[in-house]
Structure 1
Amino acid sequence: MATPAPSSGRSYYGFVLYLFGWGSLLAYLVWALVPHNYLASIGLTYLPQPYWAVALPSLFITLLLTFVFFIYPSINLLLTVSPGDLRTMVDSHTVSLHQQTNMDKCGVPPAYDLPLTEVCRNLYTE
């Protein structure tokens, strides 16, 4: 009989990833905060310069912010249909906002279509 509980293998993977995450954080903090002269004296001479301990997170945050503020909105704008597209047309079966007269006060209102011009007017002109 199948159960909704995760398999035992998933718990092993999760524990290994948990240990790997904390080990990586500890190694990063040692690399970033312990002087390289001390690390070289105990035989660790193959580490990158400490400059990269600050440069790599800064680069990652810069790339993330570039994606969030420029690339992601640009992708959404490319996926938006034009006002003259067939998917924005209305017909006799369209339920508009003005046809909703018997809305129940206690429940969730039924879904209805808003005209694209009204949506744009409310979003961008007020």
Structure 2
Amino acid sequence: MDLCSSSCHSSCAEYLGDRAQREQEEQGRRGVGRRQKDHQPACVLFLVWAFVPESWLHSTGLTYWPQKYWAVALPAYLITTVAFGYTVLLSLNIMTTPSLDSLNSITDPFAEMQDIEETLPGGIPLLRDLPLSTVNAYLYGLSTE
């Protein structure tokens, strides 16, 4: 049985629309805004530690802080680590990609070739691999023989 029968289609659509709007509002109240507010004190604390002179911190009674060196070193190490990670992943992808003259870059054992006879006239062809000769014929006007 369909929840939205023809007799109550408009009221059902309104109910589903109102429900989606309420869920979206609820996510807005507790979602991204809350996570952002949770990180703000840590960010403010880091900025205070990084930019306020140590003599001022000691005068307020805050004496146990890491050295100021780490205020610069930690973000630099983090950025360097992320850049190194991207470089390693890029290098691994380049190393595992077959060369352009390799047959592995043309086809593989799981390829299903497109058959023109399967396509209905005027219809959308199935999602299959195209033979290289067909691609060359479309791109460069070469014969398919």
Band the TM-score falls in, shorter-chain normalisation: 0.5 to 0.7
CA change 1:97–1:20 in 2 (3 A) is: same
Which of residues 20, 24, 35 is equivalent to 1:6?
A: 24
Tell me, in whole angstroms, the C-alpha distance in 1 between the residues paired with 2:90 and 2:105: 23
CA change 1:48–1:85 in 2 (3 A) is: same
Q: TM-score, normalised by structure 1?
A: 0.60
Instruction: Please give the root-mean-square deviation of Cα atoms over the aligned residues, in Å.
Output: 3.1
Tell me, in whole angstroms, the C-alpha distance in 2 between the residues paired with 1:13 and 1:44: 34
Structure 1 residue 86, shift from structure 2 partner: 8.7
Structure 2: which 5+ runs fail to align? 1-15, 115-129, 140-145
Aligned to 1:77: 94
Query: Match of 1:66, as an amino acid?
Result: F
Q: TM-score, normalised by structure 2?
A: 0.53
Aligned length: 100
Structure 1 residue 72, shift from structure 2 partner: 1.6
Matched, 1:99 2:137: yes
Aligned to 2:125: none
Structure 1 residue 24, shift from structure 2 partner: 2.4
Matched, 1:53 2:71: yes
Aligned to 1:88: 107
SS at match of 2:61: coil
Aligned pairs for 1:39-50 (under 5 A) are 39-50=57-68
Tell me, in whole angstroms, the C-alpha distance in 2 between the residues paired with 1:38 and 1:6: 45
Query: Match of 2:107, as an amino acid?
Result: T
Q: Kindly report structure 1 stretches of 4+ aligned residues shifted beyond 6 Å.
A: none
Identity of aligned residues (%): 28
Structure 1: which 5+ runs fail to align? 102-126
Structure 1 residue 27, shift from structure 2 partner: 1.3
Indicate the structure with greater helix content.
2
